[in-house]
A = this chain, B = another copy of it.
Amino acid sequence: MNNVPYKTYLSESELPDAWYNVRADMKKKPAPLLNPATMKPVTASELEHVFCKECVRQELDDNTPYIPIPQKVRDFYKMYRPSPLVRAYFLEKALGTPAKIYYKFEGNNTSGSHKLNSAIAQAYYAKEQGLTDVTTETGAGQWGTALSMGCAFFNLKCHVYMVKCSYEQKPFRREVMRTYGADVTPSPSMTTEIGRKINEEHPNTTGSLGCAISEAVEAASKMPNARYLLGSVLNQVCLHQSVIGLETMAAMKKLGVKPDVIIGCAGGGSNLAGLATPFIGEKLRGENDYRIIAVEPASCPSLTRGRYAYDFCDTGRVCPLQKMYTLGSNFIPSASHAGGLRYHGMSALISELYDQKLIEATSVEQTKVFEAATLFARTEGTLPAPESSHAIRVAIDEALRCKAEGREETIVFGLTGTGYFDMVAYGKFNDGEMDDYIPTDADLAEGFARLPEITC
């Protein structure tokens, strides 16, 4: 063992005091959101009907490089941050690689993931604005849990629309949210117009994220003092998640280590943006160079096989459009156990960075992902989330490449969360019953055919 400890913790005084906004360093910015009614760039006042005022300001701010983290948010962060940067000594040994592998672990909090970084910020801004209620949707349940925790802390009422099949298959996730005081409604529900309409037309539906989003937006609009909060995709969420990358960079500088390869899983893109943008900022400013790899599931390959085009963010087509790598808003990813990565598009920010070739992308099949997850659990102790395990898979592949090439590269990946609520998936893998589904070109053509015709 060398002198690098297993876990490097920054002190609480080293917790970043501002988030990093990479858009300020980009010459070509991500394309603006479009209002679906007018197909014109959406204005702040239009967005403020849906989102909190300060979140809208952050959403549209392409120029301020550092945005201060409010003191109350920093105080909350101190309950679980700075998170550890871990040297994966035991995984390295199992692989017999000369590569040095690090991971930034975001799972040491009850939400089980990085989602809390943005949830507490958004809950804070909602409280500061004088709101009493917030609404959101959740699929796999990590975002709903994180927001429930944030709202409990600031004494806001949290209304979660949970995709019906998740509500039924993940009763424990639902119960965690209720323990934090949230009310959780299976979607589609009978509590909203759109929910009633969908239930009428499709009485046996088990719901979808798109439908739950529409219900949450409608519910917020009908309450006197509420807004809708979203846990990924948006610029503001990528901004809040930058605390991950800022801490990673500070810890690595403290250790005197420079990463060669930085790896993150990518669903909506916020965790990858959070981990990578401080490093991408150095690339943009010409200070340093790094390989950055986005990892997506082969079943939902928006970056690696999608189109870069304006598209709807939700299947209901009520939210603003954004320019992104997309499989089409009507693309239904096949069953996958990484619910957090089943999104037809990608954040506008990650999409534009990918288009500018500042990041690479690759896709992996889920059985290979669970093989990597199992090896990681048995060597490094922590049982990883299926989403995070996509990054583990590619970190292992890169470490094996280093072994083959005899290179001592330094790899860092984001371990975004734990898999404690994903044991159904692990069970299928343990029983040899997990399949890999990869969409055919014909499957993808269907999604592309319905892309809106907009040229910006």
A→B interface (CB under 8 Å):
1, 5-7, 9, 11-12, 75-76, 78-80, 86, 90, 108-110, 112, 149, 152-153, 171-172, 175-176, 178-181, 374, 377-383, 418, 420-421, 423-424, 426-427, 430
CA distance A55 to B228 in the complex (A): 57
Are B7 and A78 neighbours in the complex by a CB distance under 8 Å? Answer: yes
| Contact residues in B for A112 (Cβ distance below 8 Å) | 420
User: What are the 7 tightest A-B residue pairs by CB atom distance, in nearest-first order?
Assistant: A172-B423, A152-B378, A175-B423, A6-B78, A175-B427, A110-B383, A79-B381
Name 28 A/B residue pairs within 8 A (Cβ), A-sorted: A5-B11, A5-B78, A6-B12, A6-B79, A7-B12, A7-B79, A79-B86, A79-B380, A109-B381, A109-B382, A110-B382, A110-B383, A112-B420, A149-B381, A171-B427, A172-B421, A172-B423, A175-B424, A175-B426, A175-B427, A175-B430, A176-B383, A176-B426, A178-B430, A179-B377, A179-B383, A180-B377, A180-B378
Using CB atoms, name the residue of chain B closest to A420. Answer: B420
Q: How far is the CB of A416 from chain B (nearest CB, A)?
A: 15
**Which of A5, A7, A110, A381 counts the most B-chain CB atoms under 10 A from its CB?**
A381
Q: How far is the CB of A68 from chain B (nearest CB, A)?
A: 18
CA distance A450 to B373 in the complex (A): 50
Among B7, B171, B175, B430, which residue has its beta carbon within 8 angstroms of that of A179? B430
CA distance A379 to B1 in the complex (A): 39
Are A181 and B149 neighbours in the complex by a CB distance under 8 Å? Answer: no
Not counting A109-B382, A175-B427, A176-B423, a sample of 8 additional A-B residue pairs whose C-beta atoms are within 8 angstroms of each other reads A110-B381, A110-B420, A153-B378, A178-B426, A178-B427, A179-B374, A179-B377, A180-B377
Using CB atoms, name the residue of chain B closest to A110. Answer: B383
CA distance A78 to B76 in the complex (A): 26
Q: How far is the CB of A108 from chain B (nearest CB, A)?
A: 5
CA distance A171 to B79 in the complex (A): 31
CA distance A430 to B181 in the complex (A): 9
Q: How far is the CB of A65 from chain B (nearest CB, A)?
A: 28
| Contact residues in B for A110 (Cβ distance below 8 Å) | 377, 381-383, 418, 420
| Contact residues in B for A79 (Cβ distance below 8 Å) | 6-7, 86, 90, 380-382
Q: How far is the CB of A7 from chain B (nearest CB, A)?
A: 7
CA distance A75 to B6 in the complex (A): 9
A12-B5, A179-B374 are contacts. A171–B381 as well, Cβ < 8 Å? no
Q: How far is the CB of A374 from chain B (nearest CB, A)?
A: 6
Among B78, B179, B420, which residue has its beta carbon within 8 angstroms of that of A426? B179
| Contact residues in B for A78 (Cβ distance below 8 Å) | 5-7
Q: How far is the CB of A177 from chain B (nearest CB, A)?
A: 10
**Which of A76, A175, A178, A382 counts the most B-chain CB atoms under 10 A from its CB?**
A175
| Contact residues in B for A423 (Cβ distance below 8 Å) | 171-172, 175-176
CA distance A321 to B188 in the complex (A): 59
| Contact residues in B for A421 (Cβ distance below 8 Å) | 172, 420
CA distance A9 to B84 in the complex (A): 11
Q: How far is the CB of A149 from chain B (nearest CB, A)?
A: 6
CA distance A312 to B181 in the complex (A): 44
CA distance A349 to B430 in the complex (A): 40
| Contact residues in B for A172 (Cβ distance below 8 Å) | 172, 420-421, 423-424
Using CB atoms, name the residue of chain B closest to A151. Answer: B378
| Contact residues in B for A5 (Cβ distance below 8 Å) | 11-12, 78
Among B80, B176, B378, which residue has its beta carbon within 8 angstroms of that of A381? B80
CA distance A379 to B110 in the complex (A): 12
Using CB atoms, name the residue of chain B closest to A155. Answer: B378
Q: How far is the CB of A173 from chain B (nearest CB, A)?
A: 8
| Contact residues in B for A86 (Cβ distance below 8 Å) | 79
A110-B377, A378-B153, A383-B179 are contacts. A9–B6 as well, Cβ < 8 Å? no
| Contact residues in B for A374 (Cβ distance below 8 Å) | 179
| Contact residues in B for A181 (Cβ distance below 8 Å) | 378
CA distance A420 to B179 in the complex (A): 12
CA distance A176 to B425 in the complex (A): 11
CA distance A420 to B175 in the complex (A): 10
